[in-house]
Amino acid sequence: MVSLVTSFTSLGPSALAYCVASSAIHVVGSVFFDLVHWLAYRSGRRITVTGARGALGHALADALGREKGASVQTARFGLDRTYDDYSRLDPLLRATDILVLAHGAKGPDAQRANCDSAVAIIEAFRRVRAQVPSSSLLRPEVWYVGSEAELHGAWTEDMRAHTSSKRAFARFARAYCDDDDFTYRHVVPAAFSSAMGPALVALWWIRRGARWCELK
């Protein structure tokens, strides 16, 4: 984690460097955070996952579904939402404590899928949650599955739209890191992954309070 903070903060002020630094602060006192997050995930968190038909989205939904007391539901593109209508998500978001945004696209729909729709869903989650009274001491959470392309850029022409869309969302991610309404976590799959699988690695870091999770 220290090496992550060093490498990203050397880039200067940015959404990603800020989230990494925040993660380092949150991991300090890991014994305390292990206890808090262990209790939190055993207390019946309600989780909604987008992109659950994708490899990482499916793995995250499956791993979260094994957490004792957690309930997982999926928000399906074309059925629960479209690029022009997110109103059908309201019933799902009303019953959501943790929103996991694992959907995405490459090619002509990249901007709408990776940035515009993510922002629209997060803002819908904020609006709906504000209308629902809650006695829980745990804040709602938003997890966004990013990309290493946010840092290294597009290596090929066919990746340019994907990279631009992920970098466009990073500007919103910077603001979400400071949001008072929810805890924001940025999950970045690496090109070369641990044999454990990215879903398990992500949950290991998140249980320890990390808000930036680069999955190796």
Same domain for 34 and 52? no
Residue 20 lies in a domain: yes
Question: Which strands sit side by side in the sheet containing 98-101, from one edge to the other?
Answer: 71-75, 46-50, 98-101, 141-145, 183-189, 212-215
Q: What is the pLDDT of residue 133?
A: 81
Encode pLDDT of 152-176 as tens digits.
Answer: 665 566 667 878 898 899 889 989 9
Encode pLDDT of 107-131 as tens digits.
Answer: 899 999 999 999 999 999 999 999 9
Residue 2 lies in a domain: no
Q: Which two tokens stand for residue 160?
A: 């340019």
Q: What is the pLDDT of residue 203?
A: 58
Same domain for 144 and 111? yes
| pLDDT mean over 83-96 | 96
For residue 201, is pLDDT > 70?
no
Same domain for 160 and 129? yes
DSSP-assigned beta bridge partners for residue 194: none
Residue 103 lies in a domain: yes
**Which alpha helices (H) appear in 28-159, and where do they start and end?**
30-41, 55-65, 90-94, 110-111, 117-130, 149-152
Compute the CA torsion angle 49, 52, 57, 59 (nearest 10 deg).
Answer: 110
**Alpha carbon of residue 97 to chain centroid:** 13
The CATH number that applies at residue 207 is 3.40.50.720
Residue 131 lies in a domain: yes
Same domain for 211 and 113? yes
Closest by Cα among 48, 57, 108 to 80? 48
**CB–CB of 188/213 below 8 Å?**
yes
Of the listed ranges 85-94, 107-116, 162-171, 192-201, the one predicted with least confidence:
192-201
Same domain for 62 and 29? no
Residue 3 lies in a domain: no
Q: Which two tokens stand for residue 145?
A: 């599955």
Token pair 């490459």 is found at 106
Residue 4 lies in a domain: no
Same domain for 175 and 206? yes
Residue 166 lies in a domain: yes
Same domain for 130 and 153? yes
Q: What is the pLDDT of residue 157?
A: 64
Q: How confident is the model at residue 150 (pLDDT cuts 50, 70, 90)?
A: low
For residue 140, is pLDDT > 90?
yes
Same domain for 109 and 29? no
Same domain for 37 and 50? no
Alpha-carbon gap, residue 192 to 33, rounded angstroms: 28
Rounded to two decimals, the pTM is 0.73
Same domain for 167 and 60? yes
Encode pLDDT of 33-74 as tens digits.
Answer: 444 554 455 457 899 999 999 888 898 888 888 877 789 999
**CB–CB of 103/117 below 8 Å?**
yes
Whole domain around residue 186: which residue ranges?
A: 44-215
Q: What is the mean pLDDT of the chain?
A: 75
Structural Rg of the chain based on CA atoms: 16
The total domain count for the chain is: 2
Residue 158 lies in a domain: yes
Q: What are the DSSP calls for 49-75, one per residue? A: EE-TTSHHHHHHHHHHHTSTT-EEEEE
Same domain for 20 and 126? no
Q: What is the pLDDT of residue 161?
A: 83
Closest by Cα among 216, 202, 207, 214 to 26? 207
Alpha-carbon gap, residue 97 to 157, rounded angstroms: 38
Same domain for 17 and 109? no
